[in-house]
Amino acid sequence: MSGNTCVIVGASHGGVNCAFELRKQGFDGDIVLIDKDPQLPYHRPPLSKAFLLGGDPTALQPLKAQSAYAQSDIDLKLGVEVESLDVSAKQVVTSEGAIDYDSVVLATGATPFIPPISGLSEAKNSFVLRDANDATDILAAVQNTENTINHVVVVGAGYIGLEAAASLSKLGAKVTVVEREQRILQRVASEPLSTFMTHKHKANGIEIVCQKTVSAVKTSEANQLVVLDDGTELKADMIIVGVGVRVNTELAQASGIETLPQGIVVDAHMKTSISNIYAVGDCTVFPHPTLGDKCHIESVQNAVGQARIVAQTITGKVSTYDEQPWFWSDQFDAKLQSVGLPKDADNILVREEGDNALSVWHFDGEALVCVEAINAPKAYVLGGRWIAKKVLIDKEKLTDVNVAIKDCVL
Amino acid sequence: MTQIIFITADEQEHVLEADSGSLMELAVANNIAGIDGDCGGVCSCATCHVHIAPEDKARVGEASEIEADMLELAENVTENSRLCCQIAISDKLEGIRVTVAEG
């Protein structure tokens, strides 16, 4: 199929998987994969965990080997900026010239949000944590022997903030996490899970301050202080800002593609409002058969799952994105895994297995919709399977740890 | 360098070498079909499922409890199944044969 070119904008989990999946699905046109990040595409989740702890700034974990791109005939253009999409001329305009396209996949991701806090933009050692650059900068600051990092303030107790807090604490810093909501992980996890993780962090020497916001950062030659809304001053040799992201919709918007504040609107086949233009991953708002019409999920699994679907759509197959979302995080000795989303649940059950493991089971009536597990992979695995198969569960047995999870089916 | 032999679904043998890292990282670095390692090697996704040759099992060792539980998520699980992100490369693995699991 000569003259059939697919241009993929963004080469992280979504874009890279899309490129390789296109080949797997038999796409024999040209594939051009573009990213402004000059690094060979890498795994992002380890950046806040193993990468920081490993201490080696060159130890990024590639998604695929460099040679794999050539082997699969994928034209990887790194360090190249996409400036615009010319929908009528069917061209992607880049910093290195225009590329004619037959289809475009937008995998533009998201950008960390920096809250307008007085003094933050002038602060020393203030970082977000999203890409390799951020992680390398944090590592360099930690390793700078002329300016020891004793105190760290993490703003925002979402997954990124908490993972960074755990890693920096393991590296020897005294870490305080400031969260404006009532509890940590409020936006993404249930209360029992938040409570467990709060204890876990506290037991490891991290201070958690909820229902407080940061009103200013005061930096002087002598020290740097994060000032909270109640006047508390926290020493901060380093500040990590993890208060969420803004989706990168500018390119889509400028091309007249329908967008919402939370992302680029796609259908269940990853098609945007303009034909032959698709979108995947963190940048999308998509319909899901059980989760609703306007879902937005920021995760590796969502990006990879949608990449598989878009590759099928582009190669002329009809598949619908209906995967249950799953997610993981590692903080200290807590291995957290979740499947499904808790938002539709009207009742939850907690199964405690020993003092370092639990699973939270979310039901909409009798229907299982989500399982959050800490050091309980069996709950996660079986829960995921049961959600997909709509298996009914004996709730009484489930909360009895003497009954094996697999025996809790009705 | 330790030699590891990966056998893919098309029955091709791929002889690879490394002296550190995990089997999953080695496989991904060499574009071995069927080993994805979506979670980056933290035993959370079960996309690096392999079958260890029976004669090599003793050298490779047993799966941890978490890994065994995660394997329940995978298809085509046998008593020789492992998630290869959990297998660290060392001299004692010289010449082992691992078959990429299907599905």
Q: pLDDT tens digits, residue range B51-99?
A: 999 999 999 999 998 899 899 878 899 999 999 999 999 999 999 999 9
pLDDT of A156 above 50: yes
- In this predicted structure, what is the pLDDT of residue B18? 92
The share of chain A scoring above pLDDT 70, in percent, equals 99
Residues A284 and A395 in one domain: no
The alpha-helical segments, DSSP class H, found in A42-131 are 50-54, 66-71
What is the average pLDDT across A185-213?
Answer: 97
- In this predicted structure, what is the pLDDT of residue A177? 98
pLDDT of A37 above 60: yes
**Mean pLDDT (chain B, rounded):** 92
- In this predicted structure, what is the pLDDT of residue A38? 96
Cα Rg of chain A, angstroms: 22
Residues A256 and A365 in one domain: no
- In this predicted structure, what is the pLDDT of residue A3? 62
**Domain annotation covers residue A319:** no
CA–CA separation, A148 and A295 (whole Å): 43
CA–CA separation, A272 and A276 (whole Å): 8
Residue pair A162/A177 in contact by the 8 Å Cβ criterion? yes
Q: Is A91 exposed, middle or buried (0-12, 13-18, 19+ CB in 10 A)?
A: middle
**Mean pLDDT (chain A, rounded):** 95
- Report the range of poorest mean pLDDT among A38-42, A60-64, A127-131: A60-64
Residues A119 and A234 in one domain: yes
Using the beta-carbon criterion (under 8 Å), do A377 and B25 form an inter-chain contact? no
Strand partners, A263: A260
Order of strands across the sheet that contains A334-340: A326-331, A334-340, A367-374, A358-364, A347-352
**Domain annotation covers residue A163:** yes
Of A271, A241, A240, give the one whose Cα is nearest residue A258: A271
- In this predicted structure, what is the pLDDT of residue B42? 86
Domain boundaries, chain B: 2-100
**Domain annotation covers residue A131:** yes
A145 or B73, higher pLDDT = A145
- Report the range of poorest mean pLDDT among A124-133, A257-266, B41-50: B41-50
CA–CA separation, A300 and B48 (whole Å): 16
Residues A19 and A101 in one domain: yes
Using the beta-carbon criterion (under 8 Å), do B28 and A337 form an inter-chain contact? no
Residues A230 and A250 in one domain: no
Segment A76-134, tens digit of pLDDT: 999 999 999 999 999 999 999 999 999 999 999 999 999 999 999 999 999 999 999 99
Residues A76 and A148 in one domain: no
B103 touches chain A (CB under 8 A): no
Residues A118 and A222 in one domain: yes
Helix (H) or strand (E) holding B18: strand B13-18
CA–CA separation, A30 and A162 (whole Å): 41
Using the beta-carbon criterion (under 8 Å), do B30 and A301 form an inter-chain contact? no
What is the average pLDDT across B16-42?
Answer: 89
Domain end residue (candidates: A195, A224, A241)? A241
Comparing CB atoms, the residue among B30, B41, B70 nearest residue A381 is: B70
Comparing CB atoms, the residue among A64, A72, A377 nearest residue B66 is: A377
**Most B CBs within 10 Å: which of A12, A48, A74, A304, as the mutation test of the B interface?**
A304
CA distance B73 to chain A (A): 6
B30: which chain A residues are within 8 Å (Cβ-Cβ)?
65, 67
Q: The tokens of A188 are what?
A: 């993404």
CA–CA separation, A165 and A32 (whole Å): 38
CA distance B45 to chain A (A): 9
Of A314, A126, A116, give the one whose Cα is nearest residue A237: A126
Q: Which CATH code fits B2-100?
A: 3.10.20.30
B41 touches chain A (CB under 8 A): yes
Residues A87 and A196 in one domain: no
**Domain annotation covers residue A326:** no
Domain end residue (candidates: A241, A270, A295)? A241
CA–CA separation, A312 and A329 (whole Å): 30
B49: which chain A residues are within 8 Å (Cβ-Cβ)?
none
What 3-state DSSP class applies to A275?
coil
Domain end residue (candidates: A314, A342, A375)? A314
**Domain annotation covers residue A321:** no
**Domain annotation covers residue A327:** no
What is the average pLDDT across A380-405?
Answer: 94
The share of chain B scoring above pLDDT 70, in percent, equals 99
**Domain annotation covers residue A82:** yes
CATH number at residue A186: 3.50.50.60
Tally of domains in chain A: 3
Interface of A with B (CB under 8 A): 43, 45-46, 49-50, 61-65, 67-68, 71-72, 300-301, 304, 328, 330, 335, 337, 375, 377-378, 381-382, 384-385
Expressed as residue numbers, the domain containing A131 is 114-241
**Domain annotation covers residue A16:** yes
- In this predicted structure, what is the pLDDT of residue B30? 86
- In this predicted structure, what is the pLDDT of residue A1? 43
What is the average pLDDT across A175-198?
Answer: 96
CA–CA separation, B75 and B101 (whole Å): 8
At A2, the pLDDT band (50, 70, 90 cuts) reads very low
Residues A129 and A102 in one domain: no
